[in-house]
A and B are shown apart, each in its own frame.
Chain A
Amino acid sequence: MSAAANGWETVIGLEIHAQLATHSKIFSASATAYGAPPNAQASLVDLGYPGTLPVLNREAVRMAVKFGLAIGASVAPRSVFARKNYFYPDLPKGYQISQYELPVVARGEVGILLEDGTRKTVGVTRAHLEEDAGKSLHEGLGRMSGIDLNRAGTPLLEIVSEPDLRSAREAVAYMKKIHTLVRYLEICDGNMQEGSFRCDANVSVRRAGVTKLGTRCEIKNLNSFRFVERAINHEVQRQVDLIEGGGKVVQETRLYDPDRDETRPMRSKEEANDYRYFPDPDLLPLEIDADFVADVRAGLPELPDAKATRFAREHGLSDYDAGVLTASRELAAYYEAVAAGAGEPKLAANWVMGELSGFLNRDVLEIGASPVGAAALAGMLKRIVDGTISGKLAKDVFEAMWSEGKDADAVIAERGLRQITDTGAIETAIRDVMAANPGHLADYRAGKDKLFGFFVGQVMKATAGKANPAQVNELLRKLLAGP
């Protein structure tokens, strides 16, 4: 990172808004399902009709508490909803019901694992409940915008990190960790395309060694991991260039434009907003007692960190591999089933992280939609373990299983892919190759050891790849050595 190279330090804090996966909205009984026709899911309460009042959804509270427990945070026994006042067409009441001084979840932390193996603990300052705003549509309405309030009132959990992140990479790792966590907890579907998981980044720079924080800018509209990384890198460079050029960073809100790969100031946020927060008089203080918390705690699943630690310990996987395999509950469950079924965790890990992930990415599928189920993959791995097929041929078998939906044994039988382990047959193949390549044989015996690979290749070709490689090696060495 050029900034760091020039003696600059980057300071990043992320604000993540996770849409909670409740059936109904946080303060009204409207549906939260994505994709409904405009304003079909906007009740009188959601529309801010005069005389309407908010009533709090218990499940939203449970989900917030789940998150708090998962990050080791204390859950506030008493928290308060506050009104954040500002005017915008997608905000029907002219205020957003949020939490200000007393959020439901207080300080916690999250561990992240970077690609180079470094571990870091990132502080989470707080997490609070609030309602989402509606959406504006700008196409096809002339000089007007159209407001759809279906999304208005959907519960959000706003998760605020401490400014502990020091690079775009760290920020992405943290964002991914939170993404994994909320899906593990089943409190958010993490669908960034649909806007269920949104991230704003607060970015500032300072000279290395300086403790005072630089002026920060907030970057909004970051709805993919890639955009977060690019946007932060761009913004850091922009700020460094600005300061090095004699200028000053102005505190402002900026929008990331993925098409141009740049950030630019947001027009509607040009003026600093005075939100005039005050406790919402229509809602009473939210009191959460020990029983409520205990009940939520009892329903927590095994969390990703614990699961990864267990995989590393019980299956002998590296921390990194364990981290990759626990990125989602579904993937972890798949992997465990394959490992158990095949009896070979490391082999299972390689295949799940390698071939399987490759095919899932190629076909843009989630693990749940994999045409090769865990049992089927385990079955195939067993055939590698028992020597029926070689590891190399297994890739062809897997491809056939993926595209034809058959199990391993069926593919092996149909295509006659059983490994050749009969010593006699291998010897015959070797002698045939030796006879067909007298020149190379002579050169090898004269000392050209590198030709060994040539002979291996020829034997594999002659046996259509089915000869057991270990046996080929052993027998070839014996036979090439001389009569």
Chain B
Amino acid sequence: MNLHRETAAEIGRGLAARRYSSVEVTRHFLARIERANPALNAFVTVTAERALADAKRADARLARGEGGPLTGVPVAHKDIFCTTGILTSCGSRMLANFVAPYDATVVERLDAAGMVLLGKTNMDEFAMGSSNETSFYGPVKNPWDTACVPGGSSGGSAAAVASRIAPVATGTDTGGSIRQPGALTGLTGFKPTYGRVSRYGMIAFASSLDQAGVLAQSAEDAALVLGAMAGHDARDSTSVAAPVPDYAAGLGKPVKGLKIGIIREFFGAGLEAETGAAVRAAIEAFRGEGATVEELSLPNLPLSVPTYYVVAPAECSSNLSRFDGVRFGHRCKDPRDLLDLYRRSRGEGFGAEVKRRIMTGTYVLSAGYYDAYYLKAQKVRSLINDDFRRAFAKVDVLMGPTAPTPAFAIGAKTDDPILMYLNDIYTIGANLAGLPAVSVPCGLAGGLPVGLQVIGPHFAEERLLAVAHAWQRATDWHRRMPEGYA
């Protein structure tokens, strides 16, 4: 059976037509996971029993004619989403014993749509990383070349979908953590507008930047899953009340006359040659289809990375204070006193990158430094936001590379945090401004996938999905699979 060659949407249609059952589909993927996961380390937890129970329930719904486009379709959740009764580790020793007592809204909604939970995917610890090398559970391998990283922090979800051991997976994107792994593994990685999807139950890293999204095989799959996830949630004060359009129905919108802006600052030094060439070629192809292309300068955009590395650590230093060994999570043995309880539980529970960011954040918020660092960064964030606003007054979407290079070797950048941070150089801007953005496969560089990033104004998910869909009707990069997994 080659069910893994079908997209999530195709599986949904197949189930609706009763060509196969959800239980069969689920067994197929569970078997693939069992074979492939030891080499890829994409999953932290495989929920076989739960998956089969979900599948049976889905089959019953389908038999009653009560299914939707995602009923019975398997999904993997990044281990940052709380799942009741299931280990939710966030890739950290701190939560290696944490069985969540509740479901994240994202999990609840995909469950309600009838999706089947395959398991929880590996990730950079507390979503801090661009290569999935900081996980307590060990690095994830890129199925395209297992000596390489899949990108991060949603590396496990990306590896799972890229190797087709899961048809689709959820991820989160704070500085590029869906789009960048999407680019490095040949997937459609979609980050919606800030506030489009509820953050309730999504373990917080940087609250004003985090957004849930999808690692998918296609724009159609992303549209279906996003449609099921999105929408207002009263439990998240930052979730937006705007109604959710039918993303799947909007996919076919023509892109003729599309005004594309390319970001001049994204095509400078640091962009690997073949990657740059593939991205430019993709943009040219759009021009060939009747889009106009204009080069724009967003002069403050180069400050995205330093801005992010003040704001995100500041927020995470506070968000991670709740991990203190008292009510849940790791606790050190035989604490001598309260101070010892805190210092050792946290010192043992967190890895080096997390500690680095907590300390950076603590410093930039501290007395005497707040104005120069945190406040300054939030002001530069305004400047970046204004750059985007001015750009979108002229164009419909912005295009450019998602990542500066294709997948790099495991261990290549772990000694230099700043080098690692620069992987997000093109993706961070959209998080700072809260803009929706997608990465779609657009070529290969040295045999490894390259992603084209498309950024839209706030709540332009439909437009982005239509652009991605149009690209995927005209090309087949998104259908390529790494060797050994087809």
- CA–CA, A380 and B253, complex, Å: 87
A interface footprint on B80-106 (CB within 8 Å = 1, 0 otherwise)? 011000001010000100101110100
A53 near B236: Cβ-Cβ < 8 Å = yes
A interface footprint on B190-201 (CB within 8 Å = 1, 0 otherwise)? 000000000111
B-facing residues in A275-303 (Cβ within 8 Å)? 276-278, 281-284
B204 near A50: Cβ-Cβ < 8 Å = yes
- Select which of B95, B200, B318 is within 8 A of A52 by beta carbon: B200
A51 near B104: Cβ-Cβ < 8 Å = yes
- CA–CA, A317 and B113, complex, Å: 72
Chain A residues whose CB sits within 8 angstroms of the CB of B88 once the complex forms? 50
A-facing residues in B52-98 (Cβ within 8 Å)? 81-82, 88, 90, 95, 98
- A85-93, A305-313, A417-425: which lies at the interface: A85-93
Chain A residues whose CB sits within 8 angstroms of the CB of B366 once the complex forms? 274, 276
Known interface pairs A89-B326, A92-B327. Does A53 touch B200 (Cβ–Cβ under 8 Å)?
A: yes
A-facing residues in B204-262 (Cβ within 8 Å)? 204, 206-208, 234-238
- CA–CA, A478 and B338, complex, Å: 87
Chain A residues whose CB sits within 8 angstroms of the CB of B82 once the complex forms? 50-51
A51, A52, A83 pick with most chain B CB within 10 angstroms: A51
- CA–CA, A242 and B277, complex, Å: 77
B322 near A85: Cβ-Cβ < 8 Å = no
Known interface pairs A87-B342, A281-B207. Does A53 touch B235 (Cβ–Cβ under 8 Å)?
A: yes
Known interface pairs A53-B236, A87-B342. Does A93 touch B322 (Cβ–Cβ under 8 Å)?
A: yes
- A41-49, A248-256, A445-453: which lies at the interface: A41-49
Distance in Å: Cβ of A277 to nearest Cβ of chain B: 8
- CA–CA, A44 and B327, complex, Å: 11
- Select which of A49, A85, A274, A284 is within 8 A of B328 by beta carbon: A49
Chain A residues whose CB sits within 8 angstroms of the CB of B104 once the complex forms? 51
Distance in Å: Cβ of B196 to nearest Cβ of chain A: 15
- CA–CA, A105 and B101, complex, Å: 38
- CA–CA, A83 and B208, complex, Å: 14
Distance in Å: Cβ of B91 to nearest Cβ of chain A: 13
B237 near A89: Cβ-Cβ < 8 Å = no
Say if the beta carbon of B459 comes within 8 Å of chain A: no
B-facing residues in A47-89 (Cβ within 8 Å)? 47-56, 83, 85, 87, 89
- CA–CA, A301 and B206, complex, Å: 44
A281 near B315: Cβ-Cβ < 8 Å = yes
Chain B residues whose CB sits within 8 angstroms of the CB of A44 once the complex forms? 101-102
A48 near B234: Cβ-Cβ < 8 Å = no
Chain B residues whose CB sits within 8 angstroms of the CB of A316 once the complex forms? none
A53, A92, A277 pick with most chain B CB within 10 angstroms: A53
Distance in Å: Cβ of B393 to nearest Cβ of chain A: 25
A52, A95, A283 pick with most chain B CB within 10 angstroms: A52
Chain A residues whose CB sits within 8 angstroms of the CB of B338 once the complex forms? 89
Say if the beta carbon of A147 comes within 8 Å of chain B: yes
A interface footprint on B98-135 (CB within 8 Å = 1, 0 otherwise)? 10111010000000000000000000000000000000
- CA–CA, A283 and B322, complex, Å: 18
Known interface pairs A89-B338, A283-B237, A284-B238. Does A94 touch B102 (Cβ–Cβ under 8 Å)?
A: no
Say if the beta carbon of B173 comes within 8 Å of chain A: no
- CA–CA, A435 and B98, complex, Å: 100
A278 near B327: Cβ-Cβ < 8 Å = no
- CA–CA, A282 and B238, complex, Å: 6
Say if the beta carbon of B464 comes within 8 Å of chain A: no
Say if the beta carbon of B365 comes within 8 Å of chain A: yes
A92 near B237: Cβ-Cβ < 8 Å = no
- CA–CA, A85 and B236, complex, Å: 21
Known interface pairs A87-B342, A274-B367, A278-B365. Does A48 touch B237 (Cβ–Cβ under 8 Å)?
A: no
A282 near B207: Cβ-Cβ < 8 Å = yes
Report the nearest B residue to A278, measured CB to CB.
Answer: B365
Chain A residues whose CB sits within 8 angstroms of the CB of B140 once the complex forms? none
A53 near B237: Cβ-Cβ < 8 Å = yes
B322 near A94: Cβ-Cβ < 8 Å = yes
B199 near A93: Cβ-Cβ < 8 Å = no
A47 near B327: Cβ-Cβ < 8 Å = yes
Say if the beta carbon of B308 comes within 8 Å of chain A: no
- CA–CA, A85 and B361, complex, Å: 12
A92 near B322: Cβ-Cβ < 8 Å = yes
A51 near B342: Cβ-Cβ < 8 Å = no
B102 near A281: Cβ-Cβ < 8 Å = no
- Select which of B98, B202, B203, B235 is within 8 A of A55 by beta carbon: B235
- Select which of A55, A85, A89, A284 is within 8 A of B365 by beta carbon: A85
Say if the beta carbon of B461 comes within 8 Å of chain A: no
Chain A residues whose CB sits within 8 angstroms of the CB of B427 once the complex forms? none
Distance in Å: Cβ of B124 to nearest Cβ of chain A: 16
- Select which of B201, B235, B321 is within 8 A of A95 by beta carbon: B321
- CA–CA, A83 and B338, complex, Å: 22
Known interface pairs A51-B203, A94-B318, A95-B321. Does A282 touch B237 (Cβ–Cβ under 8 Å)?
A: yes
Known interface pairs A147-B326, A281-B315. Does A51 touch B200 (Cβ–Cβ under 8 Å)?
A: yes
Distance in Å: Cβ of A49 to nearest Cβ of chain B: 7
A55 near B238: Cβ-Cβ < 8 Å = no
- CA–CA, A128 and B321, complex, Å: 24
Say if the beta carbon of B435 comes within 8 Å of chain A: no
Chain B residues whose CB sits within 8 angstroms of the CB of A283 once the complex forms? 237
Distance in Å: Cβ of A253 to nearest Cβ of chain B: 17
Say if the beta carbon of B324 comes within 8 Å of chain A: yes
Report the nearest A residue to B339, measured CB to CB.
Answer: A87
A276 near B370: Cβ-Cβ < 8 Å = yes
Report the nearest B residue to A84, measured CB to CB.
Answer: B318
Known interface pairs A50-B82, A87-B324, A94-B322. Does A278 touch B200 (Cβ–Cβ under 8 Å)?
A: no
B237 near A54: Cβ-Cβ < 8 Å = yes
Chain B residues whose CB sits within 8 angstroms of the CB of A93 once the complex forms? 321-322
Chain B residues whose CB sits within 8 angstroms of the CB of A89 once the complex forms? 324, 326, 338
B201 near A51: Cβ-Cβ < 8 Å = yes
A-facing residues in B307-335 (Cβ within 8 Å)? 314-315, 317-318, 320-324, 326-328
Distance in Å: Cβ of A357 to nearest Cβ of chain B: 47
A89, A94, A147 pick with most chain B CB within 10 angstroms: A94
Known interface pairs A274-B367, A276-B362, A281-B315. Does A48 touch B200 (Cβ–Cβ under 8 Å)?
A: no
B322 near A48: Cβ-Cβ < 8 Å = yes
Chain B residues whose CB sits within 8 angstroms of the CB of A55 once the complex forms? 234-235, 237
Chain B residues whose CB sits within 8 angstroms of the CB of A147 once the complex forms? 326
Chain A residues whose CB sits within 8 angstroms of the CB of B206 once the complex forms? 281
Say if the beta carbon of B471 comes within 8 Å of chain A: no
- CA–CA, A83 and B102, complex, Å: 25
Report the nearest B residue to A90, measured CB to CB.
Answer: B326
Distance in Å: Cβ of B174 to nearest Cβ of chain A: 12
B367 near A278: Cβ-Cβ < 8 Å = no
Known interface pairs A48-B322, A48-B327, A283-B237. Does A276 touch B365 (Cβ–Cβ under 8 Å)?
A: yes
- Select which of B202, B238, B370, B374 is within 8 A of A51 by beta carbon: B202
Distance in Å: Cβ of A27 to nearest Cβ of chain B: 9
Show 18 residue pairs from A and B whose CB-CB distance is below 8 angstroms, ordered by the A residue: A49-B101, A49-B328, A50-B90, A50-B98, A50-B323, A51-B203, A52-B200, A53-B200, A53-B235, A85-B365, A89-B338, A93-B322, A95-B321, A276-B362, A276-B367, A277-B365, A277-B370, A284-B237
| 19 more A-B residue pairs beyond the given contacts A50-B323, A85-B318, with a C-beta to C-beta distance below 8 A | A48-B327, A49-B101, A49-B102, A49-B322, A50-B90, A50-B203, A51-B82, A51-B199, A52-B200, A53-B235, A54-B237, A55-B237, A85-B317, A92-B322, A94-B320, A94-B322, A274-B366, A278-B314, A282-B207
Binding site for A on B (CB under 8 A): 81-82, 88, 90, 95, 98, 100-102, 104, 199-204, 206-208, 234-238, 314-315, 317-318, 320-324, 326-328, 338, 342, 362, 365-367, 370, 374
Binding site for B on A (CB under 8 A): 44, 47-56, 83, 85, 87, 89, 92-95, 147, 274, 276-278, 281-284
| 3 tightest A-B CB contacts, nearest first | A94-B321, A281-B207, A276-B365
